[in-house]
Structure 1
Amino acid sequence: MVQPLALVETPAPNAQALPQNVEAEAALLGALMIDNRLAEDIQLKLRPDHFHEPLHGRIYEQILRLLDRNMIASPVTLRPLFENDEEMKELGGPAYLAQLTGSGAAIIGARDFAEQIYDLALLRALVGVGREMVEKALDTSEEVEPKGQIEAAEAALYRVAEEGGGEGGVKSFAQATRMAVQMAEKALNSGGGLSGVTTGLDSINAKTGGLHHSDLVILAGRPGMGKTALATNIAFNAARRYVRDLEDGIAADKSAGAAVAFFSLEMSADQLATRILAEQSGISSESLRMGKIGQQDFRNLARAAAELESLPFYIDDTPGLTIAALRTRARRLKRQKGIGMVVVDYLQLLQGTGRNANDNRVNEISEISRGLKTLAKELSVPVLALSQLSRAVEQREDKRPQLSDLRESGSIEQDADMVWFVYREEYYLTAKQPADDHPDFPKWQEDMNRAYGTAEMIVAKQRHGSTGKVKMKFEAKITRFSDHVDADYLPEMRG
């Protein structure tokens, strides 16, 4: 005879202790207090609520707070924070902190301890979800909604998988509305037209509203067009504006500037710094490299270098980065330096995480562009990524780039919130210079006079507004872009 379901006995959920390893927690905390540098990688994954022992979670949280303020986290600096902690008093008071550092050998296995603590926290979260599922499924006192319970259980399991049991990132419409109003307020306070991070160029700001948080902006061009120079100019301008706003008493979150992380996969840090020094001092980078400068030039150089020393501009010139490694480094810089903008030069030099060397390159680029867009949303900063263009441009009479010219373009175009192209007619005219006695020379000279020292930025895609062209001035000797006043290139007025 089949026993009725209601009479089936269920083992008490508390019959077995929850997964835990308090010794590993203690060893990890001791290791962190001995060597604060261990926290850099560990805190990317491990949160205070992952500790089973609440006191250990509070100690870990205070360690991270001290490190975030650039202070040393040790039993001595932590002691005042736990003088009145009742739970610590039961263990002998703040002297417990010193006991945790008793075994220096724990440093060797710190990362393994952190991994185990995290895994055990996931298991406890899973037990919690399972227990709640059992309790709800057995409770028939009210309306029974099996489908609703299944959906709730699926959502809870998803949260465990994504965040170790943490809350998701769902925002109510009211929250989203407040964010939109704050963005409009920032645009108003900046003098109108600038709701994101400034590019330092009024013509581009007027066309795009600046670089918006959570946006992926693709800046593309053929070699020789000056895309790295423009990206460097924009990054420098954003960092300089950030410093000026702070000096003027404007809060960091209200600033139209940003601390910048520049991932330079093509140029070394010193080459990039030389470009910025050339731009700021007015001395050509070639003269700087070869030492062809006089005393006055050197004084200008020293002045520019002194001004740049305090700039929140962080350069990572590690070659061959994977998209995963770049995202990890960007997160670390966001946490440690408070960066508000990321520049990647350039997208095609990044690597995907696929283990098979023969993986489809288009798929790899898709992973990279998706990863950059995810990074922009995760850190809530604009990501400006440079990209190559295919040689198809060179085959056309009109060399102005189009969206279809983006190499492996499908995913890049799809993931980008804005796509900008840099185009310099002067570059192509120089290559086609006829002989002085050639019949076409007068026409060429006329075209050259018109194009000399100018560049176009073509906004080919923009989620926030219209597309179009912005004319700029370009000084090739010092690789500097600046505003160019020309009625034909004024941005369209928006109603």
Structure 2
Amino acid sequence: MNEIAPLQPPALPMGEDAGPTLPHSIEAEQQLLGAVLTNNDIYDRVASIIQPEHFYDPVHARIYEAAAAKIAKNMLASPVTLKAYLEDDEGLQELGGASYLARLAGAAISSFAVRDYAQMIYDFAIRRELIALGHEIAGKAMKLDLDDEPVEQIVAAEQSLYKLGEAGKADSGFQSFLKAVTTAVNAANAAYQRGGDISGISTGLIDLDKKLGGLHPSDLIILAGRPSMGKTSLATNIAYNVAKVYKKGTKPDGSEGAIEGGIVGFYSLEMSADQLAARILSEASEVPSTQIRKGDMTEGEFRRFVEAAKSLEACPLYIDDTPALPISQLSARARRLKRSVGLDLLVVDYLQLVRGTGKNENRVNEISEITMGLKAIAKELHIPVIALSQLSRQVENREDKRPQLSDLRESGSIEQDADVVMFVYREEYYKEREKPGDHETDKMAIWQEEMDRLHGRAEVVLGKQRHGPIGTVDLSFEGKFTRFGNLAPGYLAPEREEQY
């Protein structure tokens, strides 16, 4: 068998002097092409790993592309059938024309090794991409352009690197039903091990977990409400509950990660990081947040406050309070956190404060772009994303002020893209503003009775749940600690208890 003389690769230009050659293996490319040309079935085994652009030699890339086109049409791809299509290829003519195709077939490797060779070719291609990306980053940094800020260059570089890291994964695309069933069984097993209540990450709120089954990877969860209903408080409570019980270990599928709780990323676009931390410390130390802000604490309260701060030092809760963050940067920062320390839950407070790319003049289209971006983050990073959202004022004009899906502000895409839509509702807030005058004794007595019934209670209305029931979950609410909690058994009215 005649051996093929490896081609001499060009050198990477580095200034005036020729630098080192780019990573490649001409021999691996030749032998893989030979295997495909002698057995077209091999193409299906390597097509998920390499594409024509991954070949170092452009002639090899064109041969692979021509073979792929023939095979896609259920036609034979061999040296004979490809000869007619590549006769005018000058690069192939320099290598010997049709005889080179025959020599490729003669140098074919065994079918069991094709994936290893394909992976080698792909790895070399990624290295070349990294080198090219490095040169591109250096070139942009050297070019002083007022419209191209360094921070934007960093974000663009991160996105390019992450895209490069995610590209070419062989497990993308179609998967067998067996694999899908295995994943479903693992999720069911996780729920069974936790006592049959939840399969996702626990929110720390028992009744909410029963309705949701926990927070599930790839889900976009919209938490909406009117101002002063407690959206941020509930989101903060959930984030804290998830982070404080975080434990790392081996998952049922054998991978390393969170086996309880999780690492939480919190985008606080409205409040500063220290304000958010004060809320969490208020909940943990049971010192009213107003007293924390004023510094009006007794010695015992201050001691509890300090002890709570110490216990939360190792809590894996990461806060980003950059205002008006574009969805592209939000995505890039989430990827960076996932790469560096891990990420199991992402919270965005709140959706209307996120910026789009600036390409949509219409606000409705911009909100649609943002919700699609958040859903893409959830799927790409395989984590639940909780996004808070404002409701329109039309709620205030109704007699029954419980929120509905139609109250979601600015875009129907919020409802469309979300897997779960939850509304926070505190009737006490509205009833408090209906206080009668002191001279109306009868009305005052009725009002006081209603206030006593509603005091310290809140509702989470599940308006949409793609994979579960809708309904209402009752929670306790302690305003001075900005804390939602579980209601004691038997606290609910009999008709409400029947829902559970």
Normalised by the size of structure 2, how large is the TM-score? 0.68
Partner of 1:131: 63
In 2, are the aligned partners of 1:122 and 1:165 still within 8 Å (CA)? no
Residues in 2 aligned to 1:420 and 1:354: alpha-carbon distance in whole angstroms: 29
Residues in 2 aligned to 1:176 and 1:403: alpha-carbon distance in whole angstroms: 32
Partner of 2:178: 174
Per-residue CA deviation, residues 266-288 of structure 1 (Å, 9 max, x unaligned), is 00000000000001111111101
Residues in 2 aligned to 1:20 and 1:415: alpha-carbon distance in whole angstroms: 49
Partner of 2:397: 395
In 1, are the aligned partners of 2:461 and 2:471 still within 8 Å (CA)? yes
Partner of 1:349: 353
Partner of 2:362: 360
Partner of 2:283: 279
Q: Which of 460, 464, 468 is the matching residue for 2:463?
A: 460
Q: Which of 418, 443, 446 is the matching residue for 1:443?
A: 446
Partner of 1:237: 241
In 1, are the aligned partners of 2:234 and 2:484 still within 8 Å (CA)? yes
Name the SS for the 1:310 alignment partner: coil
Letter in 2 for 1:132: Y
In 2, are the aligned partners of 1:220 and 1:389 still within 8 Å (CA)? yes
- Could you tell me how far 1:464 is from its partner in structure 2? 1.6
Structure 2 counterparts to residues 37-186 of structure 1, below 5 A: 52-53=22-23, 124=56, 129-135=61-67, 143-144=75-76, 167=170, 169-170=172-173, 171-186=175-190
Residues in 2 aligned to 1:125 and 1:174: alpha-carbon distance in whole angstroms: 38
Aligned-residue CA RMSD (Å): 3.6
- Structure whose alpha-carbon radius of gyration is higher: 2
Identity %: 49
Partner of 2:96: none
Q: Which of 168, 186, 192 is the matching residue for 1:188?
A: 192
Residues in 2 aligned to 1:433 and 1:14: alpha-carbon distance in whole angstroms: 93
Letter in 2 for 1:396: R
In 1, are the aligned partners of 2:262 and 2:344 still within 8 Å (CA)? yes
- Could you tell me how far 1:130 is from its partner in structure 2? 3.0
Residues in 2 aligned to 1:15 and 1:246: alpha-carbon distance in whole angstroms: 48
Q: Which of 467, 470, 475 is the matching residue for 2:478?
A: 475
Per-residue CA deviation, residues 245-274 of structure 1 (Å, 9 max, x unaligned), is 769xx9963623111000000000000000
Name the SS for the 2:346 alignment partner: strand
After TM superposition, the runs of 4+ consecutive aligned structure 1 residues lying more than 4 A away are 13-20, 120-129, 135-139, 142-145, 160-166
Residues in 2 aligned to 1:175 and 1:455: alpha-carbon distance in whole angstroms: 42
- Could you tell me how far 1:450 is from its partner in structure 2? 0.9
Partner of 2:115: none
- Could you tell me how far 1:449 is from its partner in structure 2? 1.0
Structure 2 counterparts to residues 228-307 of structure 1, below 5 A: 228-243=232-247, 253=257, 255-307=259-311
Per-residue CA deviation, residues 65-104 of structure 1 (Å, 9 max, x unaligned), is xxxxxxxxxxxxxxxxxxxxxxxxxxxxxxxxxxxxxxxx
Work out the number of aligned pairs and report it. 377
Letter in 2 for 1:459: L
Per-residue CA deviation, residues 306-356 of structure 1 (Å, 9 max, x unaligned), is 110000000000111111100000001011111100000000000001246
Partner of 2:208: 204
- Unmatched segments (≥5 aa) in structure 1: 1-12, 30-50, 56-119, 150-159
In 2, are the aligned partners of 1:470 and 1:491 still within 8 Å (CA)? no
- Could you tell me how far 1:184 is from its partner in structure 2? 0.7
Deviates more, 1:368-377 or 1:442-451: 442-451
In 2, are the aligned partners of 1:214 and 1:380 still within 8 Å (CA)? yes
Residues in 1 aligned to 2:326 and 2:69: alpha-carbon distance in whole angstroms: 46
Structure with greater proportional helix content:
1
Change (3 A) 1:435 1:337: same
- Could you tell me how far 1:167 is from its partner in structure 2? 3.8
- Could you tell me how far 1:440 is from its partner in structure 2? 2.2
Residues in 2 aligned to 1:333 and 1:234: alpha-carbon distance in whole angstroms: 19
In 1, are the aligned partners of 2:273 and 2:320 still within 8 Å (CA)? yes
Structure 2 counterparts to residues 278-427 of structure 1, below 5 A: 278-355=282-359, 359-427=361-429
Per-residue CA deviation, residues 362-398 of structure 1 (Å, 9 max, x unaligned), is 0000000000001000000000000000001001000
Residues in 2 aligned to 1:259 and 1:268: alpha-carbon distance in whole angstroms: 20
Letter in 2 for 1:424: R
- Could you tell me how far 1:144 is from its partner in structure 2? 4.6
- Could you tell me how far 1:443 is from its partner in structure 2? 1.9
